[in-house]
Each structure stands twice: as structure tokens, then as C-alpha cells.
Amino acid sequence: MINQSSPTGFVLLGFSEHPRLEKILFMVVLTSYLLTLVGNMLIILLSVLDPRLHSPMYFFLSNLSFLDLCFTTSFVPQMLFNLWGPKTISFLGCSVQLFVCMALGSTECILLTVMAFDRYVAVCQPLHYATIIHPRLCKQLTAVAWVIGLVQSTIQTPPTLRLPFCSHRQIDDFLCEVPALIQLSCGDTTYNEIQMAVASVFIVVVPLSLILISYGAIARAVMKINSANGRRKAFGTCSSHLMVVLIFYSSVTAVYLQPKNPYAHERGKFFGLFYAVGTPSLNPLIYTLRNKEVKRAFKRLLGKDGDSREN
């Protein structure tokens, strides 16, 4: 698998053409990473320790938090090092980063779809929710998401690393991703581009379509509720997940489904940075700030009984 055309690794250009911007980005990335660590670990801790959060919704949410922790940790330390000093990465390091990021990114696409299905059943089939979304199915759906991510990365990583890379070895990005490595190749990349397009359809377009279909059904079900309070409560169960989906997929599509031109590539780097660093830090904030159950669980963890005041 090792590409002999790049035995000493690569140079990650990132935003090196804007030295002042790199110093600002260092602080932004560091802050976002710390928020990601604290926020997602808190959600996992609450989901495990608080019996009232032992439900399918929080089981999926804790998996999403664990995934975001792994995803950011796989490349943010390297990114911080590159923003402050040398911008090199070994071939092995690039290979591991490519495989892990692709596997976890693909898993998140599927996991968000699973969470949309969970919300669909909760709103559209509330009387049968406990029967349909039982613990065994939750574990099976989560396992399917992780397996699909690993399979996707296993299929796409080797052909990408076998590309004949140009001798300058400069990756015009801040991490090792398929589009940037394809751009670095001096050989025929037709097969890799077709493979990436097919993968984008199955991992991005199809899951997003299923999510939109689920929320279309949810919207119809909510509109049939006569009570305004009932509609507000039903929408509240989905609003956090819907916001996460919009943020995640808007940045993913900007990175992987962008046109081929210099302006789009430069813009894609900023969207990629937001997708890679910003989204994992926003997820716990969205779920904690907009979710009364999580806030109550946090108060109980601190020894405060917030239930009486919230109800």
C-alpha cells in the first residue's frame, strides 16, 4: 500500500498563504477542540450515569458524541502542530488519518440517518415506539452504521494511497482527504473520481434523502396535531437533531460535491475546516442548550434537583 513516489510523506499547505490567519485559526481550532472534548464527554457521562437518559434517543446521541471525540482527535493535534510549526506529515500518518477520518465521517452520515428514523417513529408512531425502537434494534442499527463506515473507508483508502503523487508532495489542504490527494496525483485519477462520486451518492446523498423523507413525514404528522402545545412539543423532540443535520450536511456537501475550480476549492477548505472542527463542537451545545432533559440530568449530576423548578 505504501506509495514509493512519496517515501518521506507530505506537506500540508493548509492556509500557509495567510500566515496571520493561521495564528488565529490555531486559537479557534484549539478552543473548538476543547469544547468538543468537554461537551461530548459530558453527554456520554450523563447518558451512562443518569437512568432517565437510558433511552434510544440518548443511546444514539452518546454514540454520536463518542464518534465526534474520535473524529476530532484523529487529526486536530496534528493540525494544531502544523498551524504553529512544520507542516509535514509522514506517509503512514497521512494513511491512518485518511482511513480514520473517512470511516468516522461515513459512520456519522449513517448514524444521523438512524437518529432521524428514531425521531420519525417517536412522532409518527408514538404508541408503538417502545415496541419498534427496542434496545436490541438500537444496537443493531448503530453497529450497521459503524460497519458501513469501516467498509467504505477500507474500499476507498487503498486506491487513493496507490495514486502516483507529484514529486512536490504538497497537499493543498489541512488534512489528508480523498479530494486533496486526488488533486495531488500526477497520473490518471478517473477511477478514483468515479469511486468518490459513487461513494458520495451512497454515503451522503442517499442518507440525506432518507432524512428529508423522514422529516417530511414528521412535518405532516405534526401539522395534524390540533393542539399548538402538542405541535410545539413534537417539534421540540426533533429540532436539535434537525439543526445538527443541516449544519453537518451543508458543510459535507460543500467539501465533497463542489465544482472543480480554484475559488470553489479555496472555499471548500473553509467549509472543510468547519465540518471537521466546528460541527463536533457545536453538536453538544445544540443538544444541551435546547434539551431540557439533558439540562435536568446535568443539574442532578451536580447534586441539584432541577425537576421541580423546570416542571
Q: Which three cell numbers stand for residue 177?
A: 482527504
Any residues with CB less than 8 A from the CB of 247 and at least 6 apart, and which? 279, 282
Report the predicted TM-score, pTM, of the whole model to 2 decimal places. Answer: 0.86
Boundaries of every domain in the chain = 10-304
Model pLDDT for residues 171-222, shown as the tens digit of each residue: 888 888 888 888 888 888 899 889 988 998 999 899 999 999 999 999 888 8
Containing H/E element for 171? Answer: strand 170-171
Whole-number Å distance between alpha carbons of 129 and 122: 6
C-beta of residue 46 within 8 angstroms of C-beta of residue 53: yes
Whole-number Å distance between alpha carbons of 39 and 55: 19
At 146, is the pLDDT very low, low, confident or very high (cuts 50, 70, 90)? very high
Predicted pLDDT at 308: 43
Q: Which three cell numbers stand for residue 117?
A: 428514523
Q: Which residue has the cell 467539501?
A: 255
At 132, is the pLDDT very low, low, confident or very high (cuts 50, 70, 90)? very high
Model pLDDT for residues 86-125, shown as the tens digit of each residue: 788 889 989 999 999 999 999 999 999 999 999 999 888 8
Selected from 1.20.1070.10, 3.10.350.10, 2.40.50.140, 2.40.280.10, the CATH number assigned to the domain covering 10-304 reads: 1.20.1070.10
